[in-house]
Chain A
């Protein structure tokens, strides 16, 4: 069946809703990489067997990740007319009991994390129902209560391998609206007015980049999704693609229509096999419904997306290296200008946006620019997903409005240090970012404020450090990473980072002198100022910020 009209789309929505709320018990097992890592797939297989053999009345689906990775495997149980219940840390041996209780309209109380009575999918909403009085409400769990889910609106709740469920929550309605009732210029205008900024790190306004690409001369152009995600500790994009691949495809479809582009590419690292698999499934399903391919939605507009896999080099996330890699060349950055919007993949004008940037687009079209810009802070609109990792109690994926303070994220949502240890600092922006000490945790998380304290947003990794972490060692870890990932084209990054690492090794071995410390600082500044691409330009940040905020830890390392 191809969707060609509003009626077709509406009947697909109804079909999808029936899958999500089938009028009989439905069990969803969290099978993103985080869930699988702690046995989610084994659990799913176990349940599948039991259900096939004994309880054919139960619907069982794979879901993505609801974000609370620490509590995985998470299982959702939905009983008709009752609240959706999330069970946590579920073991394969619990399978039998969960299923038989579900048949009776019950859930195992001691495994329950919380219940959800209704849910705002942004593009639509669902009422599940009441009941389960003894189980805490979703909003009573601090990890969830302080978040605002816009991008993660469907994650962990729908089956990522079934396009109908995405449509069931109102998905592809924004694309339908854009393609059938809006001029391309109006779509760009809406994205511009929303204030959406690139989520890949630099925060360039997405609408403006789209406009530049649209105006660039040349008939054949590309839009590209940057799913390279190479920062250690960051896995938001992976989770977004594994949990809700269609929001990415829909975002790209709307963007393609706005820019008048017919070819899309998703550049994704080969280390994300599950995300690639789910994207492939999603692409096939979208094509079979006529949401990709020729004459989309019977509008005469053609657009399709291909997947390009990268071999997992951090530098290939940089725009020009990414373009070279897609072309089959070595992933080495080149000087800019020309920017990709002028001369991108195979020399054609190319719009490159991060996974999450694309994922915001459907909701902007659905709810409007004003709605979107009412979330977040001035100049920093919308939400941002962070992967909260390291020595923090609640490890997981966290979505908050931009401008939320680090305190809220790390203490209210993250519940402070793991095992009751004291939190000392947080690294934002991965190897490009810096370490912020706990005394500056009232810093709002927005592009400018983070820059002001010497770090950057990056793509959204937050690595928490506690009192046991040695800051020079952290700096050494990141420099060692950056040096290993340097492409070797320009001397400050190729040779400079190597010597920074040698000096740090000397210091940490207790053989360093004040001269070494000074040289480290001098060299850091040169690498920052003279490197060719963002990798080298930002790589010294972990050293410079730890030297600024934790000078005493470096002094303690000096030779007596």
Chain B
């Protein structure tokens, strides 16, 4: 609880060592700040904890008993005791890495991460999907889906099917006119599975059933610079509006335009 507007510091124990930590903070963040290594794939600060990748599992000690819990779902409180590297944690984590190596055999990120923890091979049958729009790299952490709905408010993509047949894509695998082409999904993806490309006129979300979003061309230099729908979306939220004369300019032209105007250089 904040005391005088400041966070209260409490004492917690990690791997038998004591530390001061901010009460209420997500334990995974505390550990990262303290440089205590915990692998994780599905946590993103801007979103609510989701707990789907299970890689951040640690042991919480209460009254002498331990319980496996994801670090991203633990909130720091006074007396919290955590073990991050017990044989139990390592054993299960290694199996999870093997599962990921089989599920996303093309992902370099997963390979490197697993190798860092000593797992270089998987005993499980590797998943092979021909023409996988996510290139055999998706680990279904759900970050793209959550960013699209919770941050952007777009919901252009979602989970399809369930269980081992779950995939992420647009509804009915069709071009989705709701997509604003913001590509936040691609930026947040931990395994770089999402592919998009900017052509002369359009942004093409290759992974999302070829969803195509027209680009806005700069009113000054005539070059495409951002998806039109995204620009309109942003502009509709601004109050007051950007001045008419620079509204549809690319950032570069806008900068040049404003500095010239300030410096009273004639605008050509």
- List residues of chain A with CB under 8 Å of any chain B CB: 313, 330, 332, 334-335, 483-492, 494-499, 502, 519, 522-523, 525-526, 529-532
Contacts and interface: CB of A to CB of B under 8 A. Distances in A.
B142 interface: yes
B125 interface: yes
Contacts of B100: 491, 495
19 contacts: A330-B158, A334-B50, A335-B70, A483-B164, A485-B163, A486-B163, A487-B162, A491-B96, A491-B99, A494-B140, A494-B163, A495-B103, A495-B124, A495-B164, A496-B95, A526-B92, A526-B95, A529-B88, A532-B51
Contacts of B99: 491-492, 495-496, 499
B68 A490 contact: no
A490 B95 CA distance: 14
Interface string B87-105: 0100110011001101100
Interface residues of B, number: 33
Contact of A335 (B51, B91, B124, B140): B51
A486 B124 CA distance: 19
Nearest to B141: A491
Interface of B: 49-54, 57, 68, 70, 73, 88, 91-92, 95-96, 99-100, 102-103, 123-125, 139-140, 142, 158-159, 161-166
A322 B166 CA distance: 19
A488 B163 contact: yes
Contact of A488 (B53, B54, B159): B159
Contacts of B125: 499, 502
Contacts of B102: 495, 499
Contact of B92 (A488, A519, A530): A530
A498 B96 contact: no
For the complex of A and B, 4 pairs with smallest distance between CB atoms: A488-B166, A486-B163, A335-B51, A498-B164
A488 B91 CA distance: 22
Highest count of chain A CB atoms <10 Å: which of B73, B88, B96 = B96
B51 to A, nearest CB: 4
Contacts of B165: 488
Interface majority SS on A: helix, strand, loop or mixed? helix
Contacts of A332: 159
A536 to B, nearest CB: 10
A525 B88 CA distance: 10
Nearest to B92: A526
A415 B85 CA distance: 52
A489 B103 contact: no
A494 B68 contact: no
Contacts of A485: 162-163
A335 to B, nearest CB: 4
A330 B164 CA distance: 16
Nearest to B124: A499
A484 B123 CA distance: 22
A292 to B, nearest CB: 36
A487 B54 contact: no
Contacts of B95: 496, 522-523, 526
B139 A491 contact: yes
A486 B159 CA distance: 13
A334 B49 CA distance: 10
Contacts of B163: 483-488, 494, 497-498
A354 to B, nearest CB: 24
Contacts of A530: 54, 57, 68, 92, 96
Contacts of A532: 51-52, 54
B50 A335 contact: yes
A290 to B, nearest CB: 44
A179 B231 CA distance: 60
Given A335-B51, A530-B92, A530-B96, 18 more contacts: A313-B162, A330-B158, A332-B159, A488-B161, A488-B163, A489-B142, A490-B54, A491-B52, A491-B100, A494-B140, A494-B163, A494-B166, A495-B99, A495-B103, A497-B164, A498-B163, A522-B91, A531-B54
Given A335-B70, A530-B54, A488 B96 contact: no
